[in-house]
């Protein structure tokens, strides 16, 4: 382990991180000019294929439980994007939940605020463009200073808005789990991939070294109790959506702040664009929250749950969904089924079907099973030839040749695009990997993926197709020059 020391304007702290490769600079994720060009193609792509934008914005939960804002969605790390800042101001609403308790609701995410004798306690601080609106709103709610900011995990929409409070002279404790540092460090070192490509962020905004992030003044492992004024905040670390996530039990007010453990749709536990998600531990965290018997649940996504019976129902239903995915995967592994066979046969428990909080608006239940397989089953997909396969391009060229040439496979893609878009896209991938600079191949693949996009498609699946379409369009422009 290597000891690194990072300094922010408000603090200096030491932290231990996983060792970097020898000679690798901490800010190794250099900006990629091609990524900027690809990002700027988004508007052109949406104009060319309007069904893609319509599908993206028509999802009932497109705002991840809140309102939508395209500017915010693509600029969550920006402190200067005027449109994103304006949207955060215009769309922030304040929900009071008893004396000195508020839920600030914005596009995509919430912030919980508690007024205590010793000052304000925030659970999360939103994304960076929310900073100015957050500062202004807190000034209206209370004359007290910000005593503590609890950051539930390292994702863009949870802590980066704190910059405005620090710049305004607030000096809060910033508390999170020890794992937050390693997770944020890995995000910044892989920024071009994990943040720009997989999370659809403007590459000019993103943090590229740890000191670009909001850093804690103190961290903990396991559980930590904060006594602030007359209130007690119990912070519990439990791996779930991320390795560093925590939830908060405000025992003195019978409130649980559930971070991202609970969401008002099928939990985003199957997001294949993220690092490992811990499905079994996530389920246990939900049960642990229910065991505290809160009267009020303040989630970071979606509306507050204000009825104690509803809180129990929602938490335990989501826990049962996750546990079912785990149980079905383990049963499949023990029955000697391949991963693809397991994923194809898992089913949401019958008693959970039809519930609004089980709607597959972000991921499908089978994607949750895939995440369990990723943790329990290793990287091998069970197909012997794919342990050490021929290069993708070599295999694809052979398949194209056996099909009678690229024109014939393109014709077949066009025929299948309406009747079997999934198969059409698989063939389009083969043609693309065989001839990635062929203009007809690129255009045919673009059209095939545009037709693959259908109303009701889960958002995470849709964003994968959009990112690939941007790659195809970028390469097509280069070929045509």
Domain total for the chain? 2
The β-bridge relationship of strands 146-150 and 12-17 is unpaired
Query: Whole-angstrom Cα distance, residue 206 to residue 195?
Result: 7
Q: Is residue 27 part of a domain?
A: no
- What's the pLDDT score for residue 28? 54
Query: Whole-angstrom Cα distance, residue 137 to residue 116?
Result: 17
Give the residue from 379, 414, 432 where a domain finishes.
379
Question: Mean pLDDT in each 10-residue stretch from start to end of the chain (481 residues)?
Answer: 31 35 46 86 95 90 90 97 98 98 98 99 99 99 98 98 98 99 97 93 94 97 98 99 98 98 97 96 99 99 98 99 99 98 98 97 97 95 96 98 97 97 98 98 98 94 96 95 85
Q: What are the C-alpha distances in Å from 123 to residues 152, 298, 367, 441, 456?
A: 7, 10, 29, 49, 32
Q: Which CATH number does the domain housing residue 73 bear?
A: 3.60.15.10
Q: Which CATH number does the domain housing residue 447 bear?
A: 1.25.40.880
The range of the structural domain enclosing residue 251 comes to 67-379
The reply to whether 183 and 200 lie within a common domain is yes
The reply to whether 220 and 349 lie within a common domain is yes
The reply to whether 202 and 148 lie within a common domain is yes
- What's the pLDDT score for residue 481? 85
Q: Is 127 left (phi over 0), alpha (psi -120 to 50) or beta?
A: beta
**Of 478, 463, 398, which Cα lies nearest the Cα of 433?**
398
Q: Residue 103: helix, strand or coil by DSSP?
A: strand
Give the residue from 318, 353, 379 where a domain finishes.
379
The reply to whether 125 and 82 lie within a common domain is yes
């Amino acid at each position: 382990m290597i000891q690194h020391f990072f300094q922010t304007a408000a603090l200096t702290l030491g932290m231990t991180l996983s060792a970097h490769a020898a000679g690798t600079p901490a800010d190794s994720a250099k900006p990629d000019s091609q990524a900027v060009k690809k990002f700027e193609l988004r508007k052109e792509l949406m104009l060319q294929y309007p069904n893609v934008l319509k599908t993206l914005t028509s999802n009932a939960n497109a705002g991840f439980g809140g309102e939508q804002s395209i500017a915010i969605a693509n600029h969550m790390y920006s402190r200067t994007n005027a449109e994103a800042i304006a949207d955060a101001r215009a769309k922030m609403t304040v929900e009071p939940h008893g004396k000195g308790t508020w839920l600030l609701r914005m596009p995509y995410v919430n912030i919980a605020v508690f007024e205590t004798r010793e000052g304000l306690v925030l659970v999360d601080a939103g994304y960076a463009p929310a900073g100015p609106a957050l500062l202004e709103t807190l000034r209206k709610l209370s004359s007290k200073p910000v005593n503590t900011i609890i950051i539930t995990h390292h994702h863009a929409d949870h802590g980066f808005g704190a910059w405005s409070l620090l710049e305004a002279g607030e000096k809060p404790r910033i508390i999170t789990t020890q794992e937050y540092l390693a997770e944020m460090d890995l995000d910044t070192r892989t920024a071009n991939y994990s943040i720009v490509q997989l999370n659809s962020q403007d590459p000019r905004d993103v943090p590229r070294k740890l000191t670009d992030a909001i850093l804690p003044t103190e961290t903990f492992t396991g559980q930590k109790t904060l006594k602030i004024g007359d209130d007690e905040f119990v912070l519990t670390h439990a791996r779930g959506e991320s390795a560093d996530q925590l939830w908060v039990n405000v025992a003195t007010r019978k409130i649980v702040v559930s971070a991202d453990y609970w969401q008002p749709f099928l939990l985003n536990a199957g997001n294949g664009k993220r690092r490992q998600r811990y499905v079994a531990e996530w389920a246990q965290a939900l049960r642990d929250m229910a065991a505290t018997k809160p009267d009020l649940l303040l989630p970071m996504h979606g509306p507050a749950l204000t009825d104690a019976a509803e809180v129990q129902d929602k938490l335990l239903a989501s826990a049962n969904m996750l546990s079912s995915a785990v149980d079905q995967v383990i049963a499949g592994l023990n029955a000697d089924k391949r991963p693809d066979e397991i994923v194809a046969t898992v089913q949401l428990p019958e008693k959970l079907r039809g519930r609004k909080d089980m709607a597959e608006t972000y991921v499908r239940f089978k994607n949750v099973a895939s995440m369990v397989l990723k943790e329990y089953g290793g990287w091998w997909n069970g197909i012997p030839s794919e342990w050490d396969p021929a290069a993708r391009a070599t295999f694809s060229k052979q398949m194209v040749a056996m099909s009678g040439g690229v024109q014939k496979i393109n014709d077949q893609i066009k025929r299948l695009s309406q009747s079997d878009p999934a198969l059409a896209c698989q063939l389009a991938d083969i043609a693309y990997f065989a001839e990635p600079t062929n203009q007809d191949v690129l255009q045919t693949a673009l059209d095939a993926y545009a037709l693959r996009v259908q109303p009701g498609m889960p958002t995470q699946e849709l964003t994968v197709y959009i990112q690939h379409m941007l790659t195809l369009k970028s390469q097509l422009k280069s070929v045509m020059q």
